[in-house]
A and B are shown apart, each in its own frame.
Chain A
Amino acid sequence: MKKVVKNNMNSKENKKLRKEYIENFNESFDLLIEEYSKKLNLNNRKTGV
């Protein structure tokens, strides 16, 4: 009988993949912001009034 593989969102592998994706997304977005901020001479985040 064919083994049924459940779509387990909590599996270690899935968790790891998601974590990696989030980290990569964050890093690459940060790089994008940094790169263009430098190029366009944009300042650091300003605090609200």
Chain B
Amino acid sequence: MNNEKDKIAQRSGRFIGPYEYVLLESGDYTFAGPDGKILEGRIKEGEKLDWFGKFYRYGNEWKFNTDSLLNLDFGKYDLYNEECGKHPYNYITYFDKLCITPGTNKYNNFNFGYNEEVVKLFPEFFEYIPVSRFIIRGSKDYFCAFKDVILGRLKKFDAAHKSDEEWTKLCAWAEKLRKVAEEKFKQIEKVKEAGEYQKRKEELISKTSEWYYKKNDEKVQAISLANGKPDKKFEKLSEEDWINLIKEDYHNIAFVPFKVATDAFMEKAKPHFMTSIIKKLDDIDVFAPDVKEQLASVEKSYNEALGMMKAKEIEFQEEKNRNARVVASNKKREEVEKTFGDMKF
């Protein structure tokens, strides 16, 4: 760690990793710097973000420990770590703010909230992925990732020889999630059968093709709505347009992450366009009852995820301390053995 980074670490009171990150895509980003100052603006491709040390490495995983990342449209392809020579796509391992977006990026992959990495980390969130995402994606990726993670946990628990009681609990959890997958398949089927999705998509494309959808390689991609501030493409829309859009496009807007992400943003950033929209949405009670339930439920999961993250941090710290103690004790033993081994009685 160089001096400059030490200083930053001191100021921010956080661990600063020894890595520098390079921004892969230019764009409008919003960060909170280590001094708490909000940085906004267009960052050029290739620009180095050395204070981005709030991402750090834990074993083979990348974690980030930031409550300052305010950019809600931050995909895994936005950063590149030179030292590791790869996309640190695991940097989202733990997060204390759901910096997620309901959009897809230009690669037609899902950013943050909906990519498979998140499903792997928090399978509980699978339930809240909107049906339209599965349909747009058109593959079984999510389901495979979902199955893999559940299976992985079962295997891990089995290998750890947990108690019968814990095993039973885990099996119940696995069964519950399998039902979630089945339910999701049924929802997709229903939407597809009714032609509802296609109808909605066509309507939206015809109505809003310029600013809400764009065509790319014959694939329709949703543009992020929760990127913290309206994209230039959205500038001409009035608040009323947005509200109508959200009301109409029930399936294509991820209410849950939209709300959570916006809350995360509102908490830290200065008031902006989206804030007033969300307030209006609350006022006019646009959320259907089941969406309200989902919100309550995802907020619960979110809090649990936070708890899990904190527990992991404690576990990591304890392991680190334990290792340090073992090293110290071994060293001491070696010294004693050396001393007494040389003594002649």
Counting chain B residues whose Cβ lies within 8 A of the other chain, the interface size class is: 20 to 34
Contact status A46-B139, CB under 8 Å: yes
Closest chain B CB from A3 CB (angstroms): 18
**Is B77 among interface residues, defined by CB-CB distance under 8 A?**
yes
Residues of A within 8 A of B171 (CB): 21
Instruction: Let me know if B143 and A7 touch, CB within 8 A.
Output: no
Chain B proximity of A31: nearest CB distance (Å): 11
Give the dominant DSSP class at A's interface.
helix
- A18 in contact with B158 (CB, 8 Å): yes
> Would you call the interface of chain B mostly helix, strand, loop, or mixed?
helix
Q: Which residues of B contact A25 (CB under 8 A)?
A: 150-151, 154, 174, 178
Residues of A within 8 A of B (CB): 7, 9-10, 14, 18-19, 21-22, 25-26, 28-30, 32-33, 36-37, 39-46, 48-49
CB distance A33 to B188 under 8 Å? Answer: no
Q: A33-B143, A36-B185 are in contact. Are A22 and B154 (CB under 8 A)?
A: yes
* Structural contact, B147 and A29, CB atoms closer than 8 A: yes
Residues from chain B with a CB closer than 8 A to the CB of A40 are 185, 188-189, 192
Q: Are A46 and B185 also in contact (CB < 8 A) when A18-B167, A22-B151, A25-B154 are?
A: no
With a cutoff of 8 Å between Cβ atoms, the chain A residues found around residue B151 in the complex are 22, 25-26, 29
Minimum Cβ distance to chain A for residue B86 (Å)? 12
